[in-house]
């Protein structure tokens, strides 16, 4: 037995809404027009909510980008449903264009990811670009409740979970430090970490040159069981012991 949703019932009612034109002896399917307008307007509102969050955080892909992806996905899905009427009783696959949307937006999201200073930025923005595509497809296929519920969940993840992520990252910071190559930097990092009961993960080094001076750039994640104050002491002592020329703590983006 096929499952029927509230959205499908609403779409069926509107699709069957017609106005008879006695002059031209034709039934105008005005319900389809209203259904399409509802889908487009809802995609603008829902994708705009996610886009405004990215814009507020100053990301390169902000409100306009998310609106373009979301509304574009919605329009393509509507075209897939109404734009290619079945001819001579032939069956058609309305999900074919949706599959192409997913592939195309995947490349767009990959362009938002930046690898810099041994760290990766833009993963969250790439994810939001992908999710507004999904919301646009949901609106374009007239699954309005699913689109609204999905937007609510994503908004909670972006706003509320951001604070949780910050609290976690304070005890597990990703550190990028540069020190003279003449210093036994690895030994000192391990020595200071042992003193502070800190566990080192994903340690990587790279030899670089700065004006003829050889430097070593170390990137690693430090895991602490202690509080934030202990982390600050660790960074300070690490900087002094290794004679670091620069030290940075990466934040999630």
Work out the burial of residue 51: count CB atoms within 10 Å of its CB; fewer than 13 is exposed, 13-18 middle, 19 or more buried: buried
Q: Which of 122, 125, 126, 104 is nearest to 114 (CA)?
A: 122
Q: Report whether 246 contacts 239 (CB < 8 A).
A: no
Strands 26-28, 19-21: pairing kind? antiparallel
In angstroms, the Cα distances linking 49 to 24, 59, 75, 151, 156 are 44, 14, 19, 8, 11
In angstroms, the Cα distances linking 19 to 30, 32, 38, 57, 112 are 7, 11, 19, 48, 47
How high does pLDDT run on average in the chain? 79
Q: What is residue 237's predicted lDDT score, i.e. its pLDDT?
A: 82
Q: What is residue 138's predicted lDDT score, i.e. its pLDDT?
A: 92
Tens of pLDDT, residue by residue over 83-128, are 776 655 566 677 777 788 888 877 776 766 665 554 566 778 888 8
Tens of pLDDT, residue by residue over 194-252, are 887 788 777 778 787 766 678 888 888 777 766 555 777 777 888 888 777 777 776 54
Tens of pLDDT, residue by residue over 163-189, are 776 666 666 777 888 888 777 888 888
123 φ/ψ angles, rounded to the nearest 5 degrees:
-65, -40
Domains and CATH numbers, the chain: 6-168 (no CATH), 172-250 (3.30.70.260)
Q: Report whether 204 contacts 253 (CB < 8 A).
A: no
**Considering the entire predicted model, what is its pTM?**
0.67
Tens of pLDDT, residue by residue over 26-59, are 677 777 888 889 999 999 999 999 989 888 877 7
What does the block give as tokens for 92?
A: 């058609």
């Amino acid at each position: 037995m096929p499952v029927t949703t509230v959205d499908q019932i609403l779409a069926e009612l509107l699709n069957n809404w017609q106005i008879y034109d006695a002059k031209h002896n034709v039934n105008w399917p005005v319900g389809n027009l209203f259904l399409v307008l509802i889908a487009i307007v809802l995609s603008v509102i829902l994708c705009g909510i996610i886009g405004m969050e990215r814009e507020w955080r100053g990301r390169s892909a902000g409100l306009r980008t998310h609106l373009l992806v979301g509304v574009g996905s919605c329009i393509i899905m509507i075209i897939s449903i109404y734009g290619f009427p079945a001819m001579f009783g032939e069956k058609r696959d309305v999900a074919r264009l949706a599959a192409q949307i997913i592939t195309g937006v995947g490349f767009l999201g990959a362009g938002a990811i930046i690898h810099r200073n041994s760290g990766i930025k833009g993963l969250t923005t790439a994810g939001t670009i992908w999710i507004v595509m999904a919301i646009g497809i949901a609106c374009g296929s007239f699954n309005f409740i699913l689109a609204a519920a999905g937007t609510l969940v994503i908004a909670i993840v972006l706003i509320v979970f951001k604070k949780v992520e910050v609290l976690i990252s304070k005890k597990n910071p990703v550190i990028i430090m540069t020190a003279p190559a003449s210093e036994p930097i690895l030994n000192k990092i391990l020595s200071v970490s042992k003193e502070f009961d800190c566990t080192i993960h994903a340690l990587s080094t790279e030899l670089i040159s700065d004006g003829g001076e050889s430097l070593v750039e170390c990137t690693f994640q430090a895991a602490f069981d202690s509080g934030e104050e202990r982390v600050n002491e660790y960074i300070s002592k690490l900087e002094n012991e290794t004679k670091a020329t620069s030290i940075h703590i990466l934040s999630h983006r």
